Each structure stands twice: as structure tokens, then as C-alpha cells.
Structure 1
Amino acid sequence: MPFLVILDVSHNEVSEFFGFEPPKNLKEVNFSHNSLTQMKDMSAYEALVKLDLDHNRLERIHGLEKCCKLTHLSVAHNHVAGISSLDDVPLADLNLRGNRLKSTEGLENLSRLQSLDLSLNHISSLAGLDNLCMLGSINLEKNQISEIEECKYIHSLLLLRDLNLLGNPVQEQPEYRLSVVFLLQHLTMLDQDKVTVEEKVFSINKYDPPMEVVAARDHMTQLMYQLMQPQLLYDSTLPSDDAPYPMLVLTGPQACGKRELAHRLCEDFHEYFAYGICHTTREPYFGEENGRDYHFVSEEEFQLLEHRGAFLQTVQHGGHKYGLSRDAIEDVAREGLACCVQMELEGVLSLKKSIFEPRYILFLPTIVDNYKAVLRSRDRYTDAQIEAAVSRMELYADFNREQPSFFDNVIRCDYWDKAYQMLERVVKKYLLLEDQEEGEGETTETPPQLGSDSPTSSHSATAPEPSELLYRDHFTKTQQSHKTPVELASIRRQERPVREAVTGKSPGVYSWLIRSSDVSPGHSVDTIKGDRRPGSGVKPVLPPIPPGRKTPQANSPLASPGLRHRQVQASAQR
């Protein structure tokens, strides 16, 4: 029968394997449920596509090396204890169910395999399956797999959709299903049950949550702790909701210089800024001072402060906890200054969910060799920690690229002197000090527009030069927007009464901003001791301006809240 294509001799007592002349066109052969004990060389069957040898007595698979078209092979319920001679066979479907296999050895080079059935064996490890990149279905039911970590061998199989681990000891592990779903996010079926989208999201949020999720959890936690405490009127609370307390946050990867630059900025601009000291559970590095760089506390003290609602945000980084306390901000606000703090990206994400609206400046190293040299010079980082820090540098860069308006400014910090020069220029823009310096010597001074550079304005005071390192300005996107004449006229009408109220010409409907109860005309506002308790009817009075201190413009985004409040009240009295 030279034209025979399909041969089915199943459920017989056949004991001789292919005991006939090979038909050249034979494609499918079924020898299941017979008495075969061994295979022979099948190099003459070049057209064979499918071979079924289930329920026989075979102990070894061999003789298929020349079957260059064989894609489906089933040797279920035999006595096979090892796999060999299949490397050159283009198998797509392999069934080895119910044999005596103890490992997956011999399957490493079946790169075209799409479906694999290894159920009812004695397999305890999945090592050897990591190269089967075309695999979409694996049946491992009733084997000896006991560790969830075995899934790491099939983690890179991106086409894997169906995995069956029923009847394995691994199912007794706590949170087994959620762990497997987390490790194999591309699965659609696990243990013959559909994997839902909710399971995938929940597994990620549990075992490797995105920074946004961690920040949201931290914010909710700290907020609940704060609400459990007696509520107070804080010094950082300003007279109106649209005038947030001015803060400056410097962020960037570790050892990028943000803490050193923050201290230098607070020293040079001490009439505007003071450093907000965070808490940490790590030990102080060489040269660090307790109460100046950090408040160094134990794990127990940190946890106690957290439960007391002392922190606005906390993060865990490098195995240690860091936290920005409410007192760190209030101590600065009590002096009538803006608070300058430094923190990692996770802290920024958490702080952005709070009531504060700081300016965020990212310090980003761009030369990897320079950054590594800085880390090595500190003699406190291992090679593994240095590589982890470099990956964090890439994390910051990717985050900034994916969310271009997240940071108000981005400054390259490969060289700290140049970075500080840029920081100084940025801060002067925030404080509108450049306009003051340009206007020195003029006989008249035009009051600045209220929206000239405030966080709610629609344009910046001065446009950044394209050649500057300041290549990511927070207001660039709004500068490029085009407003119609009607919109511009509306904005001017809204700004006029506010500007007149600030200058004292016509308080009008904004008079509540500058009204001070119990203040007689002949007394100075700064000399009256106001009751700070809510409902007392007297606004809290911030300390007077020290002699020789520069007075920032009242509407400066980073001007001291106390100075701004006193200027408004003084203008009203005039």
C-alpha cells in the first residue's frame, strides 16, 4: 500500500514495532494499547507527522532522529525513565503522561515545543524548561514539585498561558496561587481555573507594588495616625486655601549631592529657607551630625513616632526607614521661613498626596563613571550596592522621561559646583529676586502680578534659555499654550482686585485676607501676641523680620508665609 497515509492498529496485541516496509506517504500512526517493548530506527519514515505510542511497555525513546517532519509524539502510560535523541526532532506537541520521569532532562533543545504533558510522573524540578520559548501549555499534575521558586525556570516563557500544578506538594504553600500568578503574569489558566485580572493586579500590589501604590498606602497610613491625634492649627497654615505653605524638595538618587546642596542653599538663603531635618533608623555615616543631617533613632522609636502620627510620609530604602515629621516643617514655619528638605523618589510620591504643594527639583547624574567614582570615594558601598545605585539613577531618568511634568525642574549634578549654580538660579527665579536685582536703582517700582510665578499661575516670570542645564521647567508646557483675547481679559479682571487688595488700594471682597481682629490702629501687628488656638478670633503672629534681612515680595511662590502675611496686613494699615 504505497499510498497509505493513516495507519491505526490500536487496541491489539502487536509486539513488533513497524514490522513492514515503510510507505513513503505515511503521516499518522497509532500504535496505542498494544504490547510494544522497544522502538527501532525510523529514519525511513521521513513523512511521518504524528506518532501515538500510548499504553505500551516502552522504557526508552529512540530512533526518531531522522523524522524531520514529526511534530506530535505521545508516549503516555509507558515505563520511560529518561528522554534522549529528541534534539533534532521538530516536536510541537509532546505527551509523556504516566511514566517514570524524575526530571526534565533531555527536553532542553526542543525549541519548537508548544504543548508539554508531564503529568503523573515523579518530577521535582522544572530546571531545563527555561529555553522552551515557544511553550504555551504545561501539564505537571501529580508530580513532586514542592517549592514555588521552581517557577523561576519558566518565568521567561512569555507565551506560556496554561499551567497545571494540581496534586503537587507546592499547593500546600501559603498563598500559593497568588504567588504563582505574581511570578507568571502572562498566565490565563492556572490549575484548570481562569486567572482573573484582579488576581494579577492584587498579586503585584502585594509582592512588588509600584512606587505609586506604596506612596498611596503610606499616605493613608500616616493620615489615619494623624487623625487619631488631637487636631491643631499648625504654623504652616496660611490665611487662605489658595496660598499653600512654601516648601522646596530636592530629590535624586543616593550620593547625588542633594543633601549637601540643600544645606548650602539654606546657608546662602538663610533669610528665606531653613533645612527640614528628617528621621532615619540607619546609623550615621562619617561626618554626619545628629540633629543637623538627620534625627538618628532606633526602630522602636521610629515606630512609636509613626503610631503617634508624627510623620507626614515615611519610606523604606536600603533596609532602613526614613520619615519627614510634621515638626520638621512646623519648626521652620514657626520662624517665618520656607522649609527645604531632601528625600528619595518614593518620599516625593507620598508627599505629593499630602496637602502641601512644594516645588520639586530633581538632581540627576548623567555620567555613570563619575557617579560610580563618587560612590566608591565614600568607602561605604559594596560593588553590589554601587550597581543598585546606578540602576536607581536609571529609574529616576526613566521616571522623569515618562512623566515630564512631574518635577518642576531637573538639574544635572555630575559636577556639584555647576549644579549649585543652577539651583541658585532656579531659586532666585522662584523668589523673583532676579527681577528685584534688575530693578535696583529705578525710581518707581511696579507691583508684580499676583500670578507672575505662583504655583497657580499660567506663565513663568522668565522663560528658561534652551542652552541651560535647566531643561525641564514646570511651566514650559503652560507657556506654550495660546489663550484667546477673551481669556486674557478674564484673567486680568480676576487679578486686578487681588492686586489692589495686596497693595492696600481697594481691599473689597478680599478684605478678610488682611483683616486682623483685636488690632487697634496705633499698634504694630508684630507686637501683638495672638492666640494660636482655633476659634480664638486672633490670627497667629509670626516673628518679626531680623535686622538686615531681605524682604521677599509678598506674592513670591517661595516667600516666607509669615512675611507675606505681615506685608499684606501692613499694606492694609497704610
Structure 2
Amino acid sequence: MSVSECAPQPVVTDPRPAPELPAGGARPQDVVVAPPTSGGEDEEDGKIKEEGELGEDEIGDHLSDLGTVTAAEHVYRSLSITQGLSPRGKSALCSYIYLQNLEVPFSKIKDLSCVSFVPHLITLDASHNDITNFFGFQPPRNLEEVNLSHNHMSEMKDLSAYPSLRRLNLDYNNFREIRGLQRCVSLTHLSLAHNRLYSTRGLNSLPLRDVSLKANQIQRVENMDCLRALQTLDLSYNRIQSLSGLQNLDYLGVINLEGNLVREIKEACHLHDLPLLRVLNLQENPVQDQPDYRLAVTFFLQRLTTLDQKEVTVEEKVSAMNKFDPPAEVVAAKDHMVHLMYHLMQPQVLLNSTLPGLDTPYPMLVLTGPQACGKRELAHKLCQHFADFFAYGTCHTTRSPYFGEVDGCDYHFASEEEFQRMTRMGKFIETIQYREHHYGLSWDAIEAAAQDGLACCVHMELEGVRSLKMSRLEPRYVLLVPTDLEAYACRLRQRGLYSHAQVQTAVARVALYVTVNRRQPGYFDNVIPCDDLREAYTMLSQVVRDYLGLDEQMAGKSTPATSAGDSLAAEKERDRDNRVFGNKVEARMVPQTTSTETAALQRRRQLAREAVAGQSAAAYTQLFSRSPVTAPGGARAVSPYQQEHRENSSPESRPSSGLSTLSLARASLEDMYDGPEPPGGLGQDPEQPADPTTTPDRSQLASRGSSSRPGADAKPILPPIPSGRRTSEP
């Protein structure tokens, strides 16, 4: 249809009676006048003629949206036709110059030249036609929405004359590039799905909020960072391999990349800084075959709520965080579980550091602080000064020794393979990885100190402290922290062992220790500034003396007996003092217990009494039955009288099977029981029945000595309780 065929015709008022208007009338608007009709009611009215033409009579049946121009003139503003139009019908459209909404889909239209004579048009739907000319009509001044999908257009032209255009749908055409949209300053929604586009160029600085480029041949994202207002982007079923080019889109919230060629999980890093991204679809991409794909994408994009059309749950977010960047507490828990598992896989023996009593853990002192803050030097000096109380626990490491370091004294230097082999053999109680090297505290280091009856003193980083707190050990933790960061950095540089980046990292870690101490009161038992190592050691030694109660001991120390006749009494008195002092050292080296812990310990004592009395089978019997021959060695000091009695005992009186579980439990209960004797006749001969009416007192038990304990002359496996003095070999 040519332009001459669509010459403007006089506006004709609809002769049919106008429908009644709503109460109050309608506001006059720029609307089209109702079309002229024949006024007849013959049987062919409203039907398509045999030749397929649609005349003015039939068009009138598709009008809607009644409005008014004046009080006496009524018009329709919307025309919706879904039937084929003949030239006669298209010529009839020229009479409707005030149309605002025109819908002519599936009408076999080849051009839209008649739209030039509808200057007030706002919405145009000409989809599913045979149109080949892109916007082949004069621009209506208020045109906002255009749907030209499912046509045969192949080239986009300049749309500078359409500044009011907001929505443009060009799906299912043959466009190869985007062009002519630079001056569409109001365009917010653009759809070019199912075309032949090879690039995303041509969208420069448009206020687009919704863009669909689905099912094209786009291989990479280009020139998209200029779309600052973009909120929804559909790039599904293209050939995109990288997500680079989607950065700096601060309002982008939905991305559909289904059916592309994204292969690497790391491509999600390009979307990491999008603050409003909530929905991402990567279905039918090779990246889904990667292990832990969903957790990895969830970790990189922690703000996601929907991934691959499936909601991202809280559990998935927590699992992703714990897997790829776990908190320090989770790392410590995993480390403890690994070492506990490997340790339990080995043959179980009774360790020297096993709890000597139900309420007394093995004493340890841990010095912690930032790298090269002086904790190792202070640990060595402390063990030399308090040699009767502490032994240095040498750790293992995979790094090379620094100048002046001695293997076996400062560290046990091991290769990476040897370190991993020791880990799998359950040799470590805790390990950490600092930078690219591993550090670990072995059970052998603790056992070496416990075998000598000494407390173990070690030094480690904060990660090691977290892991050690998961174990059964309950050390005292002393934090050594620099307060002058400039002096600390200068000290690191003077050592000449660290690069500039390593120095900066070490200085930055000081804040980590300070933050932990501030946010978790009581996490460290003491905090000592270490800017001056001399002052730091003075404070540390005083703290240790307070732990050990040495000042109280010196103040209350009595004059030793000088009489030869009182030597045995003096020896017994020293034996009693050693036991009391040993218990005091252990109590001071163990952190103060809370009321809940005290109640738990009381319940444990009660269960132990019931187990010894035969009233209930407690779990403590399993501990004592691990070794066939054992004794409560170190549970109390051995007096000369008892030693002499053991030496004079005949071989015939010694049992061949070792100490029984019940006998050992009785002996242990004697050490920890400080109230009335438990029922059941603890002091009676094991072969004789117990008399419930008689209960031996503590003096009777002491007078019997070690002869009443079968296997008392055997070499003890349990170490002596660290009593504050180095013990000799039995």
C-alpha cells in the first residue's frame, strides 16, 4: 500500500447513538473519532467478505476504549484486529487519525505506511506479519511502545525521531547488528531475541533497564558497562565463554546465561562486585560439570538468592563458606577432628600426659603472639630459669632453618613428605599452615616433658591456640603482643629474614590478636606487652611464680629437722608437703573452673565412688584396663618406708597378672578422696568379703603400705604428677 492510497479523509462522527457515559462524564482527550458505518443491519454486517477484505463496517466491530472530545462527541481510542487486512481495509485505517492503541498482529501486513496518518499513536503491535521495512512510517510524536517481532526485517535504521520510545520488541527478525538507538533517550526495555547478532555493541549510554539478546550468535560481552541503569539481562543460548564485561553494573540484579559455553567457575569472579545481583542462571553450561560447582558459585556470589532457577538456601551458603573460606574456629575444629581420627587409628597406650586425677589435667604453658615477637626466646629462657618446673616442647616445621637455629632445639625441621606421614600416623595434637609452611606440636614433645614430671612450655601462633583449645588439654595461655608497631616492624626488618610484604603482613596480624583479646574476654589468661623483651620476661616470670605459688612457698617454708632421731618423721613430713605442693601447682596451672564445671566434677567423683563400691559400672574402668600392668605412679610420692617394704616383699607374694581394675580404682580413689571413706571396705583384703558394718580409717590404710596393692612393685606407666620438682627414675 502506497502513501497516496492512504490520503487523509475527513473525520466523520459515528452516527450510531453513543453509549451512556459514567456519572460525572469523561474528560476530553485527544482521541480518534468513531469510524463511519453503513448503519444497516444486513446479514453480512461484521463479516469478512469472500475476497478476504475487511471494510470499514467490519473495523467498527473491533474498536474499544470509548472517550470524548467534546460534550456531544464520543470517540474510540483503541483498535485491535487479528484478521487479515485487504488494501481496502488498510485504506480504511487512514480515517482513524486519533488512534492511541493499534494492534494488528497476524494480519499479513507488509508495510506500515498508514501509521504515518495516526499522529497520536502511543502503542503499536504489528507482530507476526510480513513487514520488511524497519519503522516505515512517519514518527508519531508520542509513540512509546512498539512490537515488531516475528517479521522479516534485517537492518535497523536511525530512530532519532522517536525520543519518546520506551519499549521496543524486535524478536524473531534477521538483524545482524544493533544500530540507530543512540538518541532514544527514553528507551528502557529492548528485546532482540532470536536474531543473528554477533556483538552487543550499539547500546551506548542508553537508559535501558531490561535487555534481552536471547538466541543470537554473541561470543563475548562488549560495551555493556555503559548501561548504568541495567537491571535484567538475558544472554541465554549464545556462544559466550567469559563473563568479563559485566562489571560496574551496579543495578544489575538478574542475569540469564543459560545454554552458553561458560567452562570455568572462576568466571563468576567477574560478577563478584555487583551489589544487587540476586538471580543467576547458568544451566546447560559446561561449568556445571565442575566439582562443587554450586557451592563454589554460591561462595563467589554470596548475595545470590536463586541459582539455576533454584533457591539458594542458608545451609548452602554456610557450607560454601566453610569449604572455601572457613572461619578460624571451623579450621581449628577440622584440624582437631583430623588429628583425633588419625590418633585413634593407632595402637592405644596410656600416655604420660593422661589425666593423673579426675579433676587435674596435665599442666601446660602456651606463649602466643605475632611472628617474631620474642615468644620463642622467652620460652627458652623460662624453661632454663624454672628448670624444675618446665620443659620446652619442640615443635615440627616444614620450613628451612634460619641462621642460628638448631634442629631439635628450636624446631624439628622436617620435609613436607615426612610431615604428612607423621600427620597420617597420628603424631600431632595440632597443626597449622602459616604462609606456605606447616607447623605442628607433636605428642612426643608433650610426652617428653610429662615423663620427667614437668609441665610443657610451648609457643605457637593464634591458629595453633584455637586448635589446641579443641583438645583435652587445658593449658594456661599468655599473649605476648607488641604495642609499638613501628618498633616491631623495625625489629622484623633488622632480622633480614622477611620481605617487605611479609613484614607488612606480620604487622597487620597484630590487630588480629588484639581483636580476639578484646572480643573474647578470658580467651587468654594473661596479656604481656613485648616491646622490651627484658621487661616482658620480668612480667612473665612473675606470672609463672604466681601460677606455681613460689612466693607463698618461700614465705611459709619451715626449717628442716636436724635431729637424727627425727629423720624418718622429717622425711614423712616432706613427703606430705610434696603431695600438697604438687596439688597446688596443678590447681594453679589449670584455669579456674566455673560452678557448672565444679558440679560436673562432683558428679564424676560420685560415679567413681559408686563404681569402686560395685554399685554401678562406670566408664572409668575402661581407662584403667588399657594397660595390663599399671600403678598410680606419681599419684603420690613414695616414702622410704614404702620403698623398703616393696624391696623386701617376696616374689611369691607378688601377683603374676598385675594390678586389677578394681584395685587400681581403689588406689586412685584414695588419692582424690578427701571426705569420709567410701562404703564397701576399701581397706579390706580383696580375697575376703566386705563387712558393711566396719569401715577402716585412713590411718589403717596408710599402715598397710604398698603390700596391700597387688602389683605395687611394678614399674609405673603413669608419670609422676608434675609436683614442681624434677623426679628421678624409679
Q: Is 1:285 equivalent to 2:402 in the alignment?
A: yes
Q: Which residue of structure 2 aligns with residue 214 of structure 1? A: 331
- Write out per-residue CA displacement over residues 36-57 of structure 1, whole angstroms, 9 at most, x where no aligned residue: 3333333443333222111222
Judged with a 3 Å threshold, the aligned counterparts in structure 2 of structure 1 residues 258 and 73 are, in CA distance, closer, same or farther, namely same
Judged with a 3 Å threshold, the aligned counterparts in structure 2 of structure 1 residues 69 and 408 are, in CA distance, closer, same or farther, namely farther
Q: How much has 1:455 moved relative to structure 2? A: 4.2
Rounded Cα–Cα distance in structure 2 between residues aligned with 1:515 and 1:414:
40
Secondary structure of the structure 1 residue equivalent to 2:419 = helix
Judged with a 3 Å threshold, the aligned counterparts in structure 2 of structure 1 residues 34 and 518 are, in CA distance, closer, same or farther, namely closer
Judged with a 3 Å threshold, the aligned counterparts in structure 2 of structure 1 residues 114 and 171 are, in CA distance, closer, same or farther, namely same
Secondary structure of the structure 1 residue equivalent to 2:528 = strand
Q: Which residue of structure 2 aligns with residue 355 of structure 1? A: 472
Q: Which amino acid aligns with 2:723?
A: L
**Aligned mate of 1:127, from 237, 244, 247:** 244
Judged with a 3 Å threshold, the aligned counterparts in structure 2 of structure 1 residues 402 and 519 are, in CA distance, closer, same or farther, namely closer
**Aligned mate of 1:117, from 209, 229, 234:** 234
Judged with a 3 Å threshold, the aligned counterparts in structure 2 of structure 1 residues 305 and 452 are, in CA distance, closer, same or farther, namely closer
Q: Which residue of structure 2 aligns with residue 13 of structure 1? A: 130
Rounded Cα–Cα distance in structure 1 between residues aligned with 2:549 and 2:373:
27
Judged with a 3 Å threshold, the aligned counterparts in structure 2 of structure 1 residues 168 and 66 are, in CA distance, closer, same or farther, namely same
Q: How much has 1:238 moved relative to structure 2? A: 4.6
Q: Aligned runs of 1:459-498 on 2, under 5 Å? A: none
Rounded Cα–Cα distance in structure 2 between residues aligned with 1:452 and 1:148:
54
User: Radius of gyration: which is bigger?
Assistant: 2
Q: How much has 1:95 moved relative to structure 2? A: 0.7
Q: How much has 1:169 moved relative to structure 2? A: 2.7
Q: Which residue of structure 1 aligns with residue 192 of structure 2? A: 75
Judged with a 3 Å threshold, the aligned counterparts in structure 2 of structure 1 residues 146 and 397 are, in CA distance, closer, same or farther, namely same
Judged with a 3 Å threshold, the aligned counterparts in structure 2 of structure 1 residues 166 and 353 are, in CA distance, closer, same or farther, namely same
Q: Aligned runs of 1:417-432 on 2, under 5 Å? A: 417-432=534-549
Judged with a 3 Å threshold, the aligned counterparts in structure 2 of structure 1 residues 153 and 561 are, in CA distance, closer, same or farther, namely same
Q: How much has 1:254 moved relative to structure 2? A: 2.0
**Aligned mate of 2:444, from 327, 351, 362:** 327
Rounded Cα–Cα distance in structure 1 between residues aligned with 2:344 and 2:660:
16
- Write out per-residue CA displacement over residues 127-156 of structure 1, whole angstroms, 9 at most, x where no aligned residue: 121211222211112222222221111122
Indicate if the aligned counterparts of 2:481 and 2:513 stay in contact, CA closer than 8 A: yes
Rounded Cα–Cα distance in structure 2 between residues aligned with 1:24 and 1:439:
105
Alignment TM-score, normalising by the size of structure 1:
0.75
**Aligned mate of 1:377, from 484, 494, 515:** 494
Indicate if the aligned counterparts of 2:389 and 2:725 stay in contact, CA closer than 8 A: no
Q: How much has 1:292 moved relative to structure 2? A: 0.8
Q: Which residue of structure 1 aligns with residue 216 of structure 2? A: 99
Q: How much has 1:273 moved relative to structure 2? A: 1.8
Secondary structure of the structure 2 residue equivalent to 1:563 = coil
**Aligned mate of 2:306, from 189, 210, 232:** 189
Secondary structure of the structure 2 residue equivalent to 1:562 = coil
**Aligned mate of 2:321, from 185, 200, 204:** 204
Rounded Cα–Cα distance in structure 2 between residues aligned with 1:19 and 1:435:
104
Rounded Cα–Cα distance in structure 1 between residues aligned with 2:442 and 2:293:
39
Judged with a 3 Å threshold, the aligned counterparts in structure 2 of structure 1 residues 519 and 317 are, in CA distance, closer, same or farther, namely closer
Q: Which amino acid aligns with 1:17?
A: F
Indicate if the aligned counterparts of 2:356 and 2:721 stay in contact, CA closer than 8 A: no
Q: Is 1:408 equivalent to 2:568 in the alignment?
A: no
Rounded Cα–Cα distance in structure 2 between residues aligned with 1:392 and 1:528:
59
RMSD: 3.9
Indicate if the aligned counterparts of 2:475 and 2:589 stay in contact, CA closer than 8 A: no
Q: Is 1:55 equivalent to 2:172 in the alignment?
A: yes
- Write out per-residue CA displacement over residues 94-134 of structure 1, whole angstroms, 9 at most, x where no aligned residue: 11112222211110122221111111222221112121122
Q: Aligned runs of 1:129-168 on 2, under 5 Å? A: 129-168=246-285
Runs of 5+ consecutive residues of structure 2 not aligned to the other structure: 1-97, 99-118, 559-579, 603-631, 649-653, 669-719
Secondary structure of the structure 2 residue equivalent to 1:151 = helix
Rounded Cα–Cα distance in structure 1 between residues aligned with 2:123 and 2:538:
82
Q: Is 1:231 equivalent to 2:348 in the alignment?
A: yes
Indicate if the aligned counterparts of 1:233 and 1:533 stay in contact, CA closer than 8 A: no
**Aligned mate of 2:510, from 393, 398, 418:** 393
Secondary structure of the structure 1 residue equivalent to 2:527 = strand
Rounded Cα–Cα distance in structure 2 between residues aligned with 1:100 and 1:328:
66
Secondary structure of the structure 1 residue equivalent to 2:315 = helix
Judged with a 3 Å threshold, the aligned counterparts in structure 2 of structure 1 residues 3 and 271 are, in CA distance, closer, same or farther, namely farther
Q: Which amino acid aligns with 2:519?
A: E
**Aligned mate of 1:28, from 117, 125, 145:** 145
- Write out per-residue CA displacement over residues 320-372 of structure 1, whole angstroms, 9 at most, x where no aligned residue: 22221122112112222221101122221221111110111222334444333
Judged with a 3 Å threshold, the aligned counterparts in structure 2 of structure 1 residues 189 and 408 are, in CA distance, closer, same or farther, namely same
- Write out per-residue CA displacement over residues 375-407 of structure 1, whole angstroms, 9 at most, x where no aligned residue: 333333233433443443343344334333322
Rounded Cα–Cα distance in structure 2 between residues aligned with 1:518 and 1:97:
85
Judged with a 3 Å threshold, the aligned counterparts in structure 2 of structure 1 residues 158 and 430 are, in CA distance, closer, same or farther, namely farther
Indicate if the aligned counterparts of 1:233 and 1:534 stay in contact, CA closer than 8 A: no
Q: Which amino acid aligns with 1:138?
A: I
Q: Which amino acid aligns with 1:300?
A: E
Q: Is 1:563 equivalent to 2:723 in the alignment?
A: yes
Q: Which amino acid aligns with 1:371?
A: Y
Judged with a 3 Å threshold, the aligned counterparts in structure 2 of structure 1 residues 41 and 397 are, in CA distance, closer, same or farther, namely farther
- How many matched pairs? 496
Judged with a 3 Å threshold, the aligned counterparts in structure 2 of structure 1 residues 411 and 29 are, in CA distance, closer, same or farther, namely farther
Rounded Cα–Cα distance in structure 2 between residues aligned with 1:409 and 1:562:
22
Q: How much has 1:229 moved relative to structure 2? A: 3.2
Rounded Cα–Cα distance in structure 2 between residues aligned with 1:452 and 1:285:
38
Judged with a 3 Å threshold, the aligned counterparts in structure 2 of structure 1 residues 437 and 9 are, in CA distance, closer, same or farther, namely farther
- Write out per-residue CA displacement over residues 163-184 of structure 1, whole angstroms, 9 at most, x where no aligned residue: 2222323233333333323322
Runs of 5+ consecutive residues of structure 1 not aligned to the other structure: 442-446, 459-477, 495-512, 540-559, 568-574
- Write out per-residue CA displacement over residues 451-484 of structure 1, whole angstroms, 9 at most, x where no aligned residue: 99674547xxxxxxxxxxxxxxxxxxx9xxxx9x
Q: Aligned runs of 1:284-323 on 2, under 5 Å? A: 284-323=401-440
Q: Which residue of structure 2 aligns with residue 179 of structure 1? A: 296
Indicate if the aligned counterparts of 2:231 and 2:251 stay in contact, CA closer than 8 A: yes
**Aligned mate of 1:241, from 358, 370, 373:** 358
Q: Which residue of structure 1 aligns with residue 207 of structure 2? A: 90
Q: How much has 1:409 moved relative to structure 2? A: 2.5
- Write out per-residue CA displacement over residues 293-321 of structure 1, whole angstroms, 9 at most, x where no aligned residue: 11122233333333333221222222222
Judged with a 3 Å threshold, the aligned counterparts in structure 2 of structure 1 residues 287 and 161 are, in CA distance, closer, same or farther, namely same
Q: Aligned runs of 1:493-572 on 2, under 5 Å? A: 522-523=641-642, 537=664, 561-563=721-723
Q: Which residue of structure 1 aligns with residue 156 of structure 2? A: 39
Rounded Cα–Cα distance in structure 2 between residues aligned with 1:280 and 1:185:
36
Q: Which amino acid aligns with 1:563?
A: S
Indicate if the aligned counterparts of 1:232 and 1:534 stay in contact, CA closer than 8 A: no
Judged with a 3 Å threshold, the aligned counterparts in structure 2 of structure 1 residues 19 and 169 are, in CA distance, closer, same or farther, namely same
Indicate if the aligned counterparts of 2:389 and 2:722 stay in contact, CA closer than 8 A: no
Secondary structure of the structure 1 residue equivalent to 2:723 = helix
- Write out per-residue CA displacement over residues 399-453 of structure 1, whole angstroms, 9 at most, x where no aligned residue: 3343333222233334433433333343333334455678899xxxxx9997996
Judged with a 3 Å threshold, the aligned counterparts in structure 2 of structure 1 residues 43 and 264 are, in CA distance, closer, same or farther, namely farther
Rounded Cα–Cα distance in structure 1 between residues aligned with 2:404 and 2:348:
38
Rounded Cα–Cα distance in structure 1 between residues aligned with 2:248 and 2:555:
68
